[in-house]
Amino acid sequence: MTAGLVEFRHSQSSNCMSKKKPIVRERKIAIDPNPRGNLKALGGAEYDDWNNWLASRTSLALPVNQKDDDRATEATVAVYSGMIDLKPADPIEGILISQLVVAHQASLKMYRRAWAQPLEYFEVQIKYLALADKAARTVATLTERLDHHRNRGQQKIVVQHTTTVNADQALIAENIVTGKASCQETPRLAAASVDNPMEIIKPRQNKTVSVGAGRKKE
């Protein structure tokens, strides 16, 4: 086997009860060892063979008249634009995105057919609506799978720190924040006001002494 060349062998028998030897088919497939990935925006792969194959199959799966070249081309351009905007990062995302856009188009087509039915074909209308809802649920499921694959199952954990304070600290904090004193005094404050009353200091009285001028008092 040479570099960049893959040998493919497939055994096949026309009848499982036949005693004939199985047919062995060999296919030699050349794979570029240095892929460029010019169309990675469509299929998410480094190999454009995969990107082209996935893009072409997505175009053929659209619910449009494939024989109408103008209509098919218009739909293909629109779908490819949406696939590029979704930015597939790898082939898995490319697969999910291609199925997502096709399921979305199928849902829209079923809704359109449902509302196009005459009023006397109510049961047919209901069946089309059921198919449309089923396709819409498929779109939602594929969207969740795509988000899960991109996040790789990572979960956001929020850690909260809680501080516990006693009653006195809570009372002081409340007075500072609200500017209002609490109606109920704490036991510590009540004890300070009852057991140890503040001493009342009376003002001192000055005494006046009469002294005779020029004479010494005996």
* pLDDT score at 2: 44
Sort strands 5-12 and 23-30 into parallel, antiparallel or unpaired. Answer: antiparallel
Q: How far apart are CA 146 and CA 104, in angstroms?
A: 15
Please, what's the b/e burial string for 92-121 (b: 16 or more CB within 10 A of its CB; e: otherwise)?
ebbbbbbbbbbbbbbbebbbebbeebeeee
pLDDT tens for residues 5-35? 555 555 555 555 556 777 777 878 888 888 8
For the CA atoms of the chain, what is the radius of gyration?
Answer: 44
* pLDDT score at 157: 65
* pLDDT score at 31: 82
pLDDT tens for residues 113-144? 999 999 889 999 999 999 999 999 999 999 99
Q: Which residue has the tokens 């026309």?
A: 14
Q: Six-digit token pair at 194?
A: 């009852």
| Cβ–Cβ under 8 Å, residues 64 and 72 | yes
Closest to 22 measured CA to CA, from 31, 33, 35, 9: 9
- Read off the pLDDT of each residue in 157-173 and give the average, rounded to a whole number: 62
In the predicted structure, residue 189 carries a pLDDT above the cut 50: no
Q: For all residues of the chain together, what is the average pLDDT? A: 78
| Least confident window among 54-58, 125-129, 191-195 | 191-195
Closest to 51 measured CA to CA, from 63, 61, 39: 39
Give the Cβ contact number of residue 146 at 10 Å: 19
* pLDDT score at 66: 92
Q: State which amino acid sits at residue 153.
A: G
